[in-house]
Structure 1
Amino acid sequence: MGISVGTVRKALDEMETERLISRRQGRGTFVIDQTSNEHAVRFSNIRERDGSKIVGDAESSSVLEGTASECEARNLQLRIGEPVYRIRRVLSHKGAPLLTEESTVSQSRFPGLSHADDISPSIVVLSHHYGVLLGRAEEKVAVTTASDVDAQLLKVAEGTPLLTLDSIVFAIDGKPVEWRQAKCNLAGYHYYAEMN
């Protein structure tokens, strides 16, 4: 084909980094199923005490249309005032609220989302439905305390320490797809980060 081995290896490394393929010593290289359960939780770092990933059940969700604020525009590389969808969810695990989540996505990337009742507002499900290949994500972590609203949604006392996650998920072309802010009640759970 006229392509050097080094170029092919570099391309495979990049595809593995973007989680499009997985390579297993002695077994080969495999294309990752973008709709698998394992892929669905790839951007979640909340774990059970035993290390198993938590998917979470959407206890409630809403999708609202709006225009990009300065902060949303900066994080999603949009113009201020560009049409966006704001997705709000409360996720529970084992029947108890685990986290609140507020996400913003561009209307141009996900047209008609506010009218699509049969689509989960999870970025992995949305990206699959709209044909967007997800790449990497960045996440900033801080500790805050529960406001009155947080306390009601998460069923904790006001002032309870919460883990706040500020994340941006990128497509494989490097463009931001979703900006998400989540507040988690980590009582009984862990935040897990893998470093290479």
Structure 2
Amino acid sequence: MNVERMRPGLGPLYRQVKQRVIRNLIDETWKPGEMLPSEPRLAEAFGVSPGTVRRALDELVSENLLVRQQGKGTIVCRHDPERSLFHFFRLVDPAGQRPTPASLVLACFRRRAEKAEAARLSLTAGAPVVVIDRTRSVAGRPLLVERLVLPARLFGELAQVAPADLPNTLYTLYEERFGVTVYRAAEQLTAVAATEREAELLAVAPGTPLLEIDRLATSLDGVPVEWRLSRCRTDVHRYRVELV
């Protein structure tokens, strides 16, 4: 294990350890599903106390980058479909249960970024992007329609994939095929009216109120990797966030 020892004066030592662990995840020194060295080994390598390492790892566990397994150690999280759904899909049914939606990809293609897309993804004007249009349904009932815009420099190969071959949970694909881990996702909510196309896809009347979820997903190193606009029916399902 080759890591840089921490240096006093550059901020709290546990935060330096945390950032160094994140850098090792970005560099794939430790890959999803792999086990980290023991806390005593990390403490020795970083030149800090085991308590400092534990505090740094505790924060990364709370941020769902790492997971502790009893009797095994600390493991780098994978974006498996269940984990992705739990952390990033916020719609619940009347009983408060989070359904498993089925996806239907309507289109997947490559083009030049529109002005708003380039701005949200921190791209130069007209940079190539991959666009995915799809609907998501629960028990055969259309729930939402969404557009995803991705930087082609990261995901250009997706434009060559048949829509039917794209998985339901794309974050798993980003990680396993392209080595891009979604670390954070910031969402903004707005009430909008269904367009004629959205009304047709969602089986509602034009002008029906919908919930728009504007999500910008970023990677471990803070780079925007996906802009997603979802427009959802809320006559049955609700958007729920738990604050603790």
Please give the TM-score of this superposition, normalised by the length of structure 2.
0.72
Give 1 or 2 for the bigger CA radius of gyration: 2
Residue matched to 1:138: 186
Work out whether 1:171 is the aligned partner of 2:219. Answer: yes
Work out whether 1:79 is the aligned partner of 2:127. Answer: no
Work out whether 1:110 is the aligned partner of 2:158. Answer: no
110, 127, 152: which is aligned to 2:174?
A: 127
Bigger helix fraction: 2
The DSSP-based 3-state class of the residue aligned with 2:88 is coil
Measure the CA separation in 2 of the matches of 1:86 and 1:121.
16
Residue matched to 1:64: 109
82, 90, 94: which is aligned to 1:49?
A: 94
Alpha-carbon contact 1:123-1:178 (below 8 Å) kept: no
CA deviation after TM superposition for structure 1 residue 10, in Å: 4.3
Measure the CA separation in 2 of the matches of 1:122 and 1:39.
7
Bigger strand fraction: 1
The aligned amino acid for 2:171 is V
Measure the CA separation in 1 of the matches of 2:161 and 2:63.
28
Give structure 1 stretches of 5+ with no counterpart. Answer: none
Measure the CA separation in 2 of the matches of 1:102 and 1:59.
12
Residue matched to 1:34: 79
Deviations, residues 123-164 of structure 1 (Å, cap 9, x unaligned): 313312211111010000011111211111100011211101
The DSSP-based 3-state class of the residue aligned with 2:205 is coil
Residue matched to 2:229: 181
Structure 1 segments (4+ residues) deviating >6 Å: none
Measure the CA separation in 2 of the matches of 1:140 and 1:175.
18
The DSSP-based 3-state class of the residue aligned with 2:133 is strand
CA deviation after TM superposition for structure 1 residue 56, in Å: 1.1
CA deviation after TM superposition for structure 1 residue 55, in Å: 2.8
Report % sequence identity.
Answer: 34
The aligned amino acid for 2:80 is T
Larger RCO (alpha carbons 8 Å, 6+ apart): 1
The aligned amino acid for 1:127 is Y
The DSSP-based 3-state class of the residue aligned with 1:150 is helix
Measure the CA separation in 2 of the matches of 1:83 and 1:41.
31
**Which of 179-188 and 46-55 deviates more?**
46-55
1:149–1:171 CA distance, 2 compared to 1 (3 A):
same
140, 159, 162: which is aligned to 2:210?
A: 162
Measure the CA separation in 2 of the matches of 1:6 and 1:74.
42
Please give the TM-score of this superposition, normalised by the length of structure 1.
0.88
